[in-house]
Amino acid sequence: MLRITDARTGALTEVRRTLTRVQAHVTGADTSALRVLLVADVLARALELDRVPALTIADPPPDLRERTQALGIRPAETTAPVTGRTLHVAGPDTPVPEDGVHVQVAPVAGTADDSVLRLTLLSVPRAAPVDPGAAADEARTTLTRWRKAVAAWATRPSRPVPEAVRQDLRTAWENDLDVPSVLDVLRRVEQAEDLSDGARFETYAYADRLLGLDLTRDIGAAP
């Protein structure tokens, strides 16, 4: 079960299997606002993986909406009936209603090419400020390597995600949406000598349901 820190109390709050509204609050169109929308997107994905019915609500300005598409952030509803629990996702200085759980997202200093921005932002805990430009080259190298590897692994006989690996992934994202630890699990899987390529493929495809990095993009592409 997903547990998320309520920024008002500092306590971990369990998100039970009831309709949950993930409401992103943005007031500008900069990369800090984009990070808020990204966290809301990944939070909704985590809930769906836990079979929690989730509804993402956001109304970003047009310029920011274009960037969400480039980052693979799924479209959100602009309004929705007030029902179920609400998780309010916002920057530290953004006014948020008093109800529900408050999920705070630290600001972004600088930017990076949108093709690698999603990974650079996901690589840092959401409560920590980030300069994505400083890690852009590493993110580009990692994405290229992982997509190439996934395309190669996809040609091998399929094998299920090892249960221990599945548990490591779920433990990471269910513990306060710890996405950097999810990425660490993938790095270990990439290097593990006792895993088949088919199991690696299924692991990366499974984790990408949360990450949204389009890791299977190059499957079937000409070498």
- Give all strands of the β-sheet with 85-90 in edge-to-edge order: 54-57, 20-25, 85-90, 101-104
Same domain, 101 and 142: no
pLDDT at 223 > cutoff 70: no
What angle, 0 to 180 degrees and rounded to 10, lies between the N-to-C axes of helices 31-49 and 197-211? 120
Mutual angle of helices 197-211 and 179-191, in 10-degree steps: 170
Q: Whose CA is closest to 55, among 24, 91, 27?
A: 24
pLDDT value of residue 31: 95
Domain boundary among 63, 86, 107: 107
Q: Give the range among 20-34, 37-51, 67-81, 151-165 with minimum mean pLDDT.
A: 67-81
Residue 69 included in any domain = yes
Place of tokens 């990439």: 190
- Domain co-membership, 11 together with 102: yes
Residue 220's pLDDT is 86
Strands 54-57 vs 85-90: parallel, antiparallel or unpaired: unpaired
The CATH number of whichever domain residue 181 belongs to comes to 1.20.120
How many structural domains compose the chain? Answer: 2
Q: Which of 110, 108, 196 is nearest to 154 (CA)?
A: 196
Summarize the confidence of residues 133-139 as an average pLDDT.
92
221 within domain boundaries = no
Is 218 contained in some domain? no
Domain co-membership, 153 together with 82? no
Domain assignment of residue 198, yes or no = yes
| Dist. CA 186–CA 122, nearest whole Å | 13
Chain centre distance of CA 187: 16
Nearest to 57 by CA among 40, 42, 34, 32: 40
Query: Which domain covers residue 150, as residue numbers?
Result: 138-211
**Residue 93 φ/ψ region, left for φ over 0, alpha for ψ in the -120 to 50 degree band, beta for the rest:** alpha
pLDDT at residue 82 tops 80: no
pLDDT score recorded for residue 48: 95
Each residue of 41-55: pLDDT tens digit? 999 999 999 999 999
Residues 78 and 39 in one domain: yes
In a domain, 90, yes or no: yes
Residue 180 pLDDT > 90, yes or no? yes
- Domain match, 147 and 66 both: no
Where b means 16+ CB within 10 Å and e means fewer, 2-20 reads: bebbbbeeeeebebeeeeb
Of 84, 107, 130, the domain-final residue: 107
Does 59 score more than 80 pLDDT?
Answer: yes
Structural domain includes residue 158: yes
In this predicted model, which residue has the larger pLDDT, 218 or 80? Answer: 218
List, for residues 7-51, the tens digit of each pLDDT value.
Answer: 999 999 999 888 999 999 998 899 999 999 999 999 999 999 999
37 vs 116: CA distance, rounded Å: 16
153 and 96 in a common domain = no
Looking at the fold, whether 45 and 93 belong to one and the same domain comes out as: yes
Q: What is the pLDDT of residue 16?
A: 87
- pLDDT for residue 222 is more than 60: no
Using 50, 70 and 90 to split pLDDT, how confident is the model at 88?
Answer: very high
